[in-house]
Chains A and B, each alone.
Chain A
Amino acid sequence: MFPSLPHTEEDLRTMLAAVGAASLEDLFADVPPELRLRQPLAIPSSRSEAEVYRRLSALAAANRTDAVCFLGGGSYDHLIPAVVGAVLGRSEFYTAYTPYQAEISQGVLQAIFEYQSLICALTGLEVSNASLYDGATAACEAASLALNSVRRSRKVLYARTLHPHTRRVLATHFSGLEVELEEVACRDGVMDRDDLRRRLGAGTAALIVQSPNFLGYLEDLTGLAEEVHAAGALLVQCADPLSLGALRSPGDWGADVAAGDAQPCGLPSYFGGPTVGYLAARQAYLHRLPGRIAGQSVDRDGRRAFVLTLQAREQHIKRERATSNICSNQALAALAVAVYLASVGRQGLAEAARQSAAKAHYLAERLGRETRARPLAARPFFLEFPLELPGPAAPVLKDMEEQGFFAGLPLERLAPELAPDGAEAGRVILVAVTEKRTREELDRYVQAMKRILK
């Protein structure tokens, strides 16, 4: 087998002859000359397989894989059981594109169905779609769902404590549409409820709030659903699904929609993706869910079978009346989530969440006691917390890296506006701790930080 099969000169001649073109130039004659590339593409000429391997190995070697990871900011270094990779690597799943002849692909539909069932169980909501690209687009689809559900609404509120990427994608998604996006202020690292009260009112479709929020803090969701519902709007909660192994579910809090990124459940951090977005809602919004939904049925012999139940929002059904441009799902990544959740189970997920939180709190406590860094941990947090350094973050992060740690994310680069408790953004890093970190790694982190900040 060849790794790839390029067209030969002869293939090209045969194809050109079949369409009656004398040359490639001739084939493209209808493309206006000013739009055509005049010189060959600026890519290197062909290389042998061995040369390509050497080149790619050199590039891969530039990555640093030995450092201990305390990076989070939406993408977390959790344990992933080997079974996830083993199932994902099966060619039936790995090489398949979205099932157009859906019911022929029973395995894919079953996987989607199980993913949806698991997401419903986690979020405490009744219906889930088959998945979306990522957490940010899931938040956009949640906002669209709310705009289409709440009559005469055109305003979407979101907390400033949302992941900054989600805020940016919301702005992009709704630019050019007659939708007002309003940011609810942040006070001491969490959503300002007084500012929310000022902004809630007729015409509001939804409030989108993230908990644990971007800084890692838990938002106080007490009474929030009642307040939002009283204004006629829907409550959308973005939650780290792994945190739901230990925390109250969005459904329990009274949220109408849950949306977020499921990366923590079975997907590695890679280089920022691919991840997978989840979207779940109350039964009443079933017909507003974008994308597709797989369902369980029986075949003509009465055997359990799976079907594409709903793709009501998709463009081939709704045409110009479509309310979303999502026409597929993030199948392989969603499968990773399903296999992860099925393999760790209810107990395992609770354990992962509790251990992550316990280790994060242990690290924050020791850093506060033994180093000159100040954990901004005066309010409840899950597995990530802001750490204020005595000086600029960049040199400390560099020194820590030399000691073998990716010590944290500089807040200034991502969301300087969120610096809590009077801290200067340039001195704050976000430190994430997962169940994967060992006691020894945490203790070494403290020692290294102590030395560097002495």
Chain B
Amino acid sequence: MVTPKELKYARSHEWVRVEGELAFVGITDYAQESLGDIVYVEPPEAGQTVKQGEEVATIESVKAASPIYAPVSGQVERLNPLLEKTPELINQKPYEAFLFVVRLSAPAELAGLLDAAAYESHVEQEKAAH
């Protein structure tokens, strides 16, 4: 399992990369591995206002359809156009294949997200619980 140090993580397995006022959001290596081959991404709407913890997208794999939660609040600035035709990029490069970009409206929320080490132990706990 790869967990880049420079990213922030949500317990619901999304990663966040902050660039100024923007937050890039994707799903973690662990999440893509658990989902299996991803065949479709139903993204949020560009311009849509999202709240932290709100269900904003769906990822469909050959096994299941899984909800994606906004790890931060704000406005959806843009989507990743590559995922429309090649959703498998999420399996191949989970930390490059962002789903969408949020213009942060409550940057303080970032402090509540997990760092890489905390996320890894969160995953270990989840695995143990199963």
User: Interface residues, chain A, CB within 8 Å of chain B?
Assistant: 151, 287, 310, 312, 317-319, 321
Q: Is B39 positioned at the interface, with any CB of A under 8 Å from its CB?
A: yes
Number of interface residues, chain B, beta carbon within 8 A: 10
Find out whether the CB atom of A321 lies under 8 angstroms from the CB atom of B67: yes
Q: Which of B2-10, B57-65, B120-128 contacts A (4 or more CB under 8 A)?
A: B57-65
Find out whether the CB atom of A312 lies under 8 angstroms from the CB atom of B45: no
Chain A to chain B: the 8 pairs with minimum beta-carbon distance, closest first? A318-B65, A287-B40, A321-B65, A312-B60, A317-B65, A151-B45, A317-B64, A312-B40
Residues on B with C-beta less than 8 A from A312 are 39-40, 60, 65
Q: Shortest Cβ distance from A260 into chain B, in angstroms?
A: 27
Q: Is B115 positioned at the interface, with any CB of A under 8 Å from its CB?
A: no
Identify the closest chain A residue to B63 (Cβ): A317
CA distance A321 to B60 in the complex (A): 11
List CB contacts (< 8 Å) of B59-97 with chain A.
60, 63-65, 67
Find out whether the CB atom of A317 lies under 8 angstroms from the CB atom of B45: no
Find out whether the CB atom of A287 lies under 8 angstroms from the CB atom of B64: no
A151, A310, A321: the one within 8 Å of B58 (CB): A321
Find out whether the CB atom of B60 lies under 8 angstroms from the CB atom of A287: yes
CA distance A318 to B42 in the complex (A): 13
Residues on B with C-beta less than 8 A from A321 are 58, 65, 67
CA distance A310 to B60 in the complex (A): 11
Residues on B with C-beta less than 8 A from A151 are 45
User: Interface residues, chain B, CB within 8 Å of chain A?
Assistant: 39-40, 42, 45, 58, 60, 63-65, 67
Max count, chain B CB within 10 A of own CB: residue among A310, A317, A319? A317
Residues on B with C-beta less than 8 A from A310 are 39
Residues on A with C-beta less than 8 A from B40 are 287, 312
Identify the closest chain A residue to B64 (Cβ): A317
Max count, chain A CB within 10 A of own CB: residue among B39, B63, B67? B39
Q: Shortest Cβ distance from A73 into chain B, in angstroms?
A: 40
Max count, chain A CB within 10 A of own CB: residue among B40, B58, B60, B63? B60
Identify the closest chain B residue to A312 (Cβ): B60
A-B contact pairs, 12 of them (CB 8 A): A151-B45, A287-B42, A312-B40, A312-B65, A317-B60, A317-B63, A317-B65, A318-B65, A319-B64, A321-B58, A321-B65, A321-B67
Residues on A with C-beta less than 8 A from B42 are 287
Q: Shortest Cβ distance from B38 into chain A, in angstroms?
A: 12
Identify the closest chain A residue to B58 (Cβ): A321
Q: Shortest Cβ distance from B48 into chain A, in angstroms?
A: 9
Identify the closest chain A residue to B42 (Cβ): A287
Identify the closest chain A residue to B40 (Cβ): A287
CA distance A321 to B55 in the complex (A): 12
Residues on A with C-beta less than 8 A from B67 are 321
CA distance A310 to B62 in the complex (A): 9
Residues on A with C-beta less than 8 A from B60 are 287, 312, 317
CA distance A188 to B65 in the complex (A): 47
Identify the closest chain A residue to B39 (Cβ): A312
Identify the closest chain B residue to A311 (Cβ): B62
CA distance A310 to B45 in the complex (A): 24
Max count, chain A CB within 10 A of own CB: residue among B39, B40, B42, B65? B65
CA distance A287 to B63 in the complex (A): 15
Q: Shortest Cβ distance from A150 into chain B, in angstroms?
A: 11
CA distance A65 to B2 in the complex (A): 73
CA distance A319 to B39 in the complex (A): 17
Q: Shortest Cβ distance from B50 into chain A, in angstroms?
A: 14
CA distance A122 to B74 in the complex (A): 46
Residues on B with C-beta less than 8 A from A287 are 40, 42, 60
CA distance A151 to B65 in the complex (A): 19
Residues on A with C-beta less than 8 A from B64 are 317, 319
CA distance A312 to B60 in the complex (A): 8
CA distance A394 to B28 in the complex (A): 71
Residues on A with C-beta less than 8 A from B39 are 310, 312
CA distance A319 to B60 in the complex (A): 12
CA distance A312 to B39 in the complex (A): 9
CA distance A312 to B61 in the complex (A): 9
Residues on B with C-beta less than 8 A from A319 are 64-65
CA distance A102 to B67 in the complex (A): 27
Identify the closest chain B residue to A309 (Cβ): B39
Identify the closest chain B residue to A148 (Cβ): B42
Residues on A with C-beta less than 8 A from B45 are 151
CA distance A312 to B38 in the complex (A): 12
Q: Shortest Cβ distance from B23 into chain A, in angstroms?
A: 23
Identify the closest chain B residue to A310 (Cβ): B39
Identify the closest chain A residue to B44 (Cβ): A151
Q: Shortest Cβ distance from A184 into chain B, in angstroms?
A: 28
Q: Shortest Cβ distance from A241 into chain B, in angstroms?
A: 29
Identify the closest chain A residue to B48 (Cβ): A151
CA distance A49 to B41 in the complex (A): 58
Residues on A with C-beta less than 8 A from B58 are 321
